[in-house]
Structure 1
Amino acid sequence: MKPSSVKELLSTTPSHQEVLVNGWVKTFRSNRFIALNDGSCLNNIQCVVDFEAFDEALLKEIATGTALQIEGILVASQGKGQSVEIQVTTLRVHGSADPETYPIQPKKHSLEFLREKAHLRVRTNTFAAVMRVRSALSFAIHKYFRDNGFYYFHAPIITGSDAEGAGEMFRVTTLDPKAPPLAEDGEIDYKEDFFGKETNLTVSGQLEAEAYAMGLGKVYTFGPTFRAENSNTSRHLAEFWMIEPEMAFYDLDANMDLAEDFIKEVLSYILENCEEDLQFLEKRLLDEEKSKPQAERSEMALIEKLKFIVENNFKRVTYTEAIDILRNSKPNKKKKFEYPIEAWGADLQSEHERYLVEKHFKCPVILFDYPAKIKAFYMRLNEDGKTVRAMDILFPGIGEIVGGSQREERLEVLKEKMNTLGIDEKELWWYLDLRRFGTAVHSGFGLGFERLVQFSTGMGNIRDVIPFPRTPQNAEF
C-alpha cells in the first residue's frame, strides 16, 4: 500500500478505506490516542489504538518523538478538533525516543533553548511552520522569474573580488596556517595558494550576474552568500541566501517596477498557499506581544501586514526629500532618534526608514537617488555628480529589505570611481570589459532571503528562519 501524508488524509472524505501513514508521535494519551505528524502540515492526525489488540511491550515503546508506521481504517472522527481519524490495525516502530532524554516535549520551549537543539527544532509547530513558509517562498521566487523570462544563473561561491567593497570576507585557502609561504616583502605569498591568488567566499553574485545579463538579457541568482561581519545581533547572519536579478536594458524606473511587482507576487503566493501556517504564526506572534509594553507592539497583525504590502502602491521618494522629512520630524526635533538627522549625506538607519514607512507615508516606500559617498562604486552617477541611481525598498517593522541600482555602464566614469576608491582595475578587468564591449543601460537589485522569510513569518530573530544559523562563535551543526 502506498503511504499517504497527514495533509492528504486530513482532506480525504472517510469511507472506511485502508490507509498507511508514517510520522512522529506528538502525544500518546491514555495508551489509546496517538497524535501523529509527518511535517506535511500543521495539524496532527489522531490514530486510535485498541490497546488490548497490541502487545504491551510495543505500546511502551511509543512516546513523544517516536517514529511510527501506522496502518488502519480511515473513519469520521468521534472527537472534536478533527474530521477524520485512523482506527489502527498495524503498528510498526521505526525508531523510539527515550522520553527521559528527548528534548522536544509537548510544552512551550524558548527560542533560545531551541537554537541549541537546531537539529530537532523543526519538529516543533513553530519551526515546521516557518520552514514550510520558507519553502513556499523559494518556490514562488523561482516561479516568478521563470514566468517573467529570466534565466537562473549560478554565481560562483569562491571569488577573488569584493562586490560590496566592505572587506568583510571569509578567506578560502589551502596554505599551511602555521607556516604559509612568504613573498620578499614578508607578506603571505598567495601565488603559492590553490588558485594562485587571494580568494574568499562571495558576499554577492551581482558582478558575475551582470556579465551574464549582458548576454542572456535577464538573469537571477538565488544562492548562499557570506559576510564575516562580527555582529552578534538578531539581524545578522554570517551565511545567508540572496536573490539578485540583473537585467540588461533596464533603467532605475524599470528596476523599481520589477522589484515592487516581484515582492507583491511572492507574498501573494504565500497568502494563497500557506494560510494555515500563517494563521498559526500570527497567533503565536500575538501571544508573544502580550508580554511587551504597548509602545513596542506591532500596529498590524502578521497577515494584515502581508496584505498591506500586496495591496498598497509603493511610495517613491528621493533621498533628498526623505532627509527633509526626517530633519523636520518630531522625533528628530525632540531628539528621540538614536541617530539624529542633521545634514544631507547621512546614512539612514533602520529607525529612520521605519519612521518613513510606518509614521509618515503609512505605506511601503522606495527611496532613490542616494549620495554617491554612501553607496557602492558600481552604481550609476547622476548628472549632478553627487548622487547615484540607487534605490532601497523599505518595509514596516524592519526597514530596508531590498537594495538595488542602475549600474554604471560608462567605462570612463566607472574607472574614475574605482580609482577614487582605490579599487585595482587589474582585479576587475573583466568587469570593465563589459563596458568596453557592447555596453548598455542595465540594473539589478538584491534581496536577503532570510529578511523576507523573517518579515513573512513574524519571527523576531533572523537565526530562527534559517535551518542552521551561522553566526560569530557558532557553527555547531
Structure 2
Amino acid sequence: MNYTVSQLLTQDITFQPIEIKGWVRTFRANRFIALNDGSTINNIQCVVDFENTHEDLLKRITTGAAVHIKGDLVESQGKGQTVEIQVSSIEILGDSDPEDYPIQPKKHTFEFLRENAHLRTRTNTFSAVMRIKSNLSFAVHKYFTENGFYNMHTPLITASDAEGAGETFRVSTLDPKNPPLNEDGTVNFEEDFFGKETNLTVSGQLEAETYAMSLGKVYTFGPTFRAENSNTTRHLAEFWMIEPEVAFMDLAGNMDLAEDFMKSVLKYILEHNREDLEFLEKRLQDEEKTKPQAERSEMSLIEKIRFVVDNNYKRVSYTEAIDILKNSKPNKKKKFKYIIEEWGADLQSEHERFLVEKHFKCPVILFDYPANIKAFYMRLNEDGKTVRAMDILFPGIGEMVGGSQREERLEVLKEKMKALDIPEEELWWYLDLRKYGTAVHSGFGLGFERLVMFATGMGNIRDVIPYPRTPQNAEF
C-alpha cells in the first residue's frame, strides 16, 4: 500500500510492508536516505542495504531525486525518529542531475530561492509556509460557510476603480502601436473589445455589495491587481483579497464579525499546523539572535498568534488614538519617523504598532476616521467630518483588516462622488442599490498574503505567494 510520510510517522503501522514515493533530501554514507513528500515538514529515514544495491543505482540517489521505495516500516535504532524504512527495493523516477540541482542541503538566501521559486517549496521553510497558507485558505471558506455566507466570484475585468487610486492595469485588445483615435486625438475605446476602457480589478467590494443586498451575507476570495510601482516587502501587483459584505449590519456588527473571523482562522492553524509553526518559530528565533537587542521582537511567532486569538480587541476612536500618539514618548522625543502633529494625519505602521504593542498591549480596532483619508463609499457620520470606517491592528505588522459601514443614503453618496469627480454614469448600478430597497450594510477587506505573513512570520510578502508579481518581475 502507498503511504505518505505523514501517515508513516503518525499511524501505528510498524512491521508492515509499505510503499512510498518522494524526493531525496539527503543521502549519506551510501546507506541513509532522508525522504520527504511534502505531506509534513518531517523526513522519514530510509535505510538502504548498499551491499545488495547496484553501484550505478547508488550513484543516482542524489539530493532532489524522485524515488519509489518499497520496504518494511520498523522501529528506528537511531536518534531523532521513532520509525524508519528498511528498503527492499528502490526505483529512481525520471532523471536527476546532482551537479545542476540548485536546492542543495545547505542554507540558501531568500533572494536565491525567489530566483528558483519553482523549486523552493522543497525547502522546509517554504513547504511549511505553503501548508499553513493552504490551511488558512480552507479556514476562511469554513468560517464563512458555517456562518451562513455565500461565496461570490466577482469580475476580474471591470470598468471601475473601487478605491479611486487610479493604479490599475489596463485590459485592451487594441493595437498599442496604432490604436483608433477620436477627433481630439484620444484613444477611441468604443472600438475596444468591451466597448469601453477596462482594467483588472483592485477590489470585488462594489459588486459584492450588490449581492449582499439580495442574499444577505456574501464574501469574495479572489485575485486583485494594483499597478503601484512599489518595491517594498509588503506590496505585490497581484494578490488575493477576502471581502465579506453583510446587509443590515452596522459598524459595531462589522467589528464583531471581523474580530471573530480573525480569531477563528488563526486558531485553526494553531490546531492543524503545529509542527510547521514550531519550525518557523525556531527559524525566526535564530534570525532574531543576529539583530541588535532593540530590534528584536518581544513575542515569539506562536505567542504573537495566541496574542490575537486569546485577547479581546480594544476599540478606540481615531480621535482618541491621535491624542494618545501625540502625547506618547516616541512622538514627543521625535523617535517616530512620522511625527503626529494634528488630527487628520494618516497613521503609519509605526503608530499602529505602538498602539498595539506598547500602549494597549492587545489587538486594536480603530474606528471613525477622517472622511478625507478614506474611500468615497464609507458612511458619513453626523459630525460631517468622519466616516464609519474601522481598521484592525495587529502586533508586528500594523493594519490587518480595513472595513466600514457603507454609505446607504443616495443623496449623500452622490455628493461624495461629485466632490471626488466620480461620474454617476460609471456607477449607475451601484447608485441603484441606494434607490431600490436601501439599507444599512457593512463589510471589510483583508489581504490574504498579509495574513499569511503574520501567521508564518515571513518578513517579505514575495515569500508567501508561489510566484510574486512585482515591478519588472513576472517570472515563472
Query: How far has the Cα of 1:136 moved from its partner?
Result: 0.6
User: Which letter does structure 2 place at the counterpart of 1:239?
Assistant: E
For 1:405 and 1:468, locate their aligned partners in 2 and report how far apart those are by CA, in whole Å.
31
Q: Residue 263 of structure 1 corresponds to which residue in structure 2?
A: 262
What is the aligned partner in structure 1 of residue 365 from structure 2? 366
AA paired with 2:190? K
Instruction: Tell me the equivalent position of 1:169.
Output: 168
* Alpha-carbon distance in 1 for matches of 2:13, 2:422: 68
Letter in 2 for 1:328: N
Check conservation: 2:212, 2:245, Cα contact below 8 A. yes
Instruction: Tell me the distance in 2 between the aligned counterparts of 1:430 and 1:388.
Output: 23
Partner of 2:347, secondary structure, is: coil
Shift of 1:58: 1.4
The answer on whether the counterparts of 1:131 and 1:465 sit within 8 Å (CA) in structure 2 is yes
Provide TM-score, normalisation by structure 1: 0.99
Partner of 2:420: 421
* Alignment partner, residue 404 of structure 2: 405
Please state whether the residue corresponding to 2:73 is helix, strand or coil: strand
Tell me, in whole angstroms, the C-alpha distance in 1 between the residues paired with 2:68 and 2:128. Answer: 23
Matched residue, 2:455: 456
* Cα distance in 2 for residues equivalent to 1:451 and 1:297: 20
Question: Residues 332 and 340 of structure 1 are in contact (CA less than 8 Å); yes or no, is this contact kept in structure 2?
Answer: yes
Post-superposition offset of 1:400: 0.3
1:210: Cα distance to partner? 0.3
Counterpart code for 1:134: K
Residue aligned with 1:370, SS: strand
Query: How far, CA to CA, are the matches of 1:299 and 1:15 in structure 2?
Result: 43
2:179 & 2:35 partners in 1: Cα distance?
56
Secondary structure in 1 matching 2:403: strand
Q: Distance in 2 between matches of 1:159 and 1:387?
A: 29
The structural deviation recorded for 1:137 is 0.3
CA, structure 1 residues 55+224, in 2 after alignment: closer, same or farther (shift >3 Å)? same
Cα shift at 1:15: 3.4
The residue aligned with 2:216 is 217
Q: Distance in 2 between matches of 1:16 and 1:112?
A: 44
| Contact 1:14 1:84 (8 Å CA) reproduced | no
SS of aligned partner of 2:433: helix
Q: Is the 8 A contact 1:368 1:391 kept in 2?
A: yes
Which deviates more, 252-261 or 56-65? 56-65
Identical-residue share of aligned pairs (%): 78
- Aligned residues of 1:234 and 1:461 also touching (Cα < 8 A): yes
Q: Which runs of 5+ in 2 are unaligned?
A: none
Equivalent in the alignment of 2:336: 337
Residue 14 of structure 1: how far off its partner (Å): 4.0
Give the distance between the partners of 1:223 and 1:69, measured in 2 at CA. Answer: 37
Q: Is the 8 A contact 2:14 2:83 kept in 1?
A: no
Unaligned runs of 5+ in 1: none
TM-score (norm 2): 0.99
2:92 match: 93
Distance (Å, rounded) in 1 between the aligned partners of 2:149 and 2:284: 36
| Matched residue type, 2:342 | A
Whole-angstrom CA distance in 2 between matches of 1:334 and 1:13: 61
- Is contact 1:174–1:194 with CA below 8 Å preserved after alignment? yes
Q: Does 337-346 or 8-17 show the bigger shift?
A: 8-17
Question: Where in structure 1 do 4 or more consecutive aligned residues deviate above 4 Å?
Answer: none
- 1: distance between equivalents of 2:30 and 2:142? 46
Mapping for residues 441-452 of structure 1, pairs under 5 Å: 441-452=440-451
- Which stretch shifts more, 93-102 or 451-460? 93-102
Q: Secondary structure at the match of 2:425?
A: coil
1:97 CA drift (Å): 2.4
Return the alpha-carbon distance in structure 2 between the equivalents of residues 266 and 196 of structure 1.
42
**Which residue number in structure 2 is paired with residue 36 of structure 1?**
35
In the alignment, the residues of structure 2 paired with residue 11 and residue 386 of structure 1 have an alpha-carbon distance, to the nearest angstrom, of: 59
- Which residue identity lines up with residue 52 of structure 1 in the other structure? E
How far apart, in 1, do the equivalents of 2:108 and 2:378 lie? 46
Matched residues in 2 for 1:246 and 1:53: separation? Answer: 65
Please tell me whether the aligned partners of residues 247 and 442 of structure 1 are also in contact (alpha carbons under 8 angstroms): yes
Corresponding position of 1:306: 305
Counting matched residue pairs gives 476
What's the CA shift string for 1:82-128, capped at 9, x where partnerless? 11111111211112321211000001101111111111100000000
> 2:131 aligned with 1:132, yes or no?
yes
Tell me, in whole angstroms, the C-alpha distance in 1 between the residues paired with 2:341 and 2:3: 62
Q: What residue number does 1:123 align with? A: 122
Partners of 1:104 and 1:120 within 8 A in 2 = yes
Aligned ranges for residues 344-359 of structure 1 at < 5 Å?
Answer: 344-359=343-358
- CA distance in 2: counterparts of 1:258 and 1:15, whole angstroms: 47
Letter of the 2:36 partner, please give it. Answer: N
Residue in 1 aligned with 2:149?
A: 150
Letter of the 2:150 counterpart: Y
Corresponding residue SS for 1:426: helix
CA-atom RMSD in angstroms: 0.7
Q: Distance in 1 between matches of 2:335 and 2:96?
A: 53
The AA in structure 2 aligned to 1:444 is G
Partner in structure 2 of residue 375 of structure 1: 374
How many angstroms does 1:54 deviate by?
Answer: 1.9
Q: Displacement, 1:13? A: 2.1
Amino acid at match of 1:310: V
What is aligned with 2:273? 274
| CA distance in structure 2 between the aligned counterparts of 1:184 and 1:337, rounded to whole angstroms | 53
